Amino acid sequence: MSSKPSLFVLKDLLRDGNFLKEAIYCLGFSANSKTLASASGNSKINFWRVNANGLLDRIPLKSLTNFQTGTKDRSSWVVYSKDGKRLAVASGSGSADNIEPQKWEIAIWEVDSDGLPKTEQPFQKINPGAEHVPAFGFSYDGKLIASPGPNKSVIIWEVESGKQLTNLSGHSGQAREFSFSRDSTRLIVASGEGTVKLWEVKNGTLLKDFAAHTGGAWTSSLSPNDKLVASGGKDKAVLLSEVESTQRVAAFTDKHQNGEVYSVVFSPNGKILATAGDDGDIILWDVETGEIIQELKGKIVINNLAFSPDGKFLVSGTDNPDNVIINLWQVVDNSKTK
């Protein structure tokens, strides 16, 4: 019998005064799945932990009273390195329509075993020089970061030195999301012109060009075994393709018809693909069969989805400052109870 995972709601709503007056742009779990970090429109990064009752408790940074993410207007993205040693945050000034490139930066901290920053100030700062930094990506070994660069380029940075390693030129739209392969030698990039491309990290060679989304590809995700790439975009479609052949193996075009797709993410075991976006719905797909496992209906724009590395939880963050919600679900494999 094939595995049929399903989700059970543990926590529906979190409200916390001033912080949740700003939209949540990104959520990320630490490598040990104990800590959840959230980035919001007021530049603040908050840390949460799942308690014994399945609820999210805020973690106070008592010893880091002056911890901040860099520039103080906006924070767009927060990512833990897969090796559990680092946390990086993109932050900057201005609105999405009026960005000052020189004021956007990616700040990087060393973190402790629970995923909390060790120091108030980051040990490294990177200035991508891009018009906007909607997202960036850590390599699996935590040694590299990929970010948007000037003139719609993609830049690979060495984390330790802060120096540029490679400049990838070939996108006619701004890079929107990044996924490294497990060996950190290849990079998947979704971009505003609607394409998803696979790049060689070391020499900047374009390896593969996947089927495009009409109007823009906003999100992409590489499966844990590096064999599949999923993407979503302005055309409301979710596409699933083989990496080596670039052949499209599935096209989910009829479920997110009320809005654009902003987030696609594979579960750690690669069996589930979770998708969400403008319509507020979260849809879970069986990667092997292409069938829908579960639909979670919503009404508020969802910016970001994240599975915990241990595969036990899925979280989502919303883009409505008047009704900001962090949803937390437990992932349960029903086949194990039969």
Q: What is the pLDDT of residues 2-39, one digit of tens each?
A: 344 444 433 333 433 334 456 677 889 999 998 999 88
Compute the 3-state secondary structure of the chain and give helix, strand, coil in percent, each to the nearest 5.
Answer: 5, 45, 50
Q: Which domains does the chain have, with CATH numbers?
A: 17-325 (2.130.10.10)
Q: 108: helix, coil or strand?
A: strand
On whether the CB atoms of residues 282 and 300 are closer than 8 A, the answer is no
Q: 102: helix, coil or strand?
A: helix
Residue 336 has phi, psi (to 5 degrees) of -80, -10
Count the residues in the chain: 338
Q: What is the pLDDT of residues 63-98, one digit of tens each?
A: 665 565 544 556 668 899 999 999 998 887 655 445
Structure tokens at 244: 């080596």
Q: What is the pLDDT of residues 248-303, one digit of tens each?
A: 988 887 677 678 999 999 999 999 999 998 888 889 999 998 888 888 887 788 88
User: H or E segment at 248?
Assistant: strand 248-252
User: Taking Cα atoms as reference points, which of 273, 268, 263, 265 lies closest to residue 319?
Assistant: 263
Structure tokens at 107: 């700040």
Q: At which residue do the structure tokens 């990667």 appear? A: 287
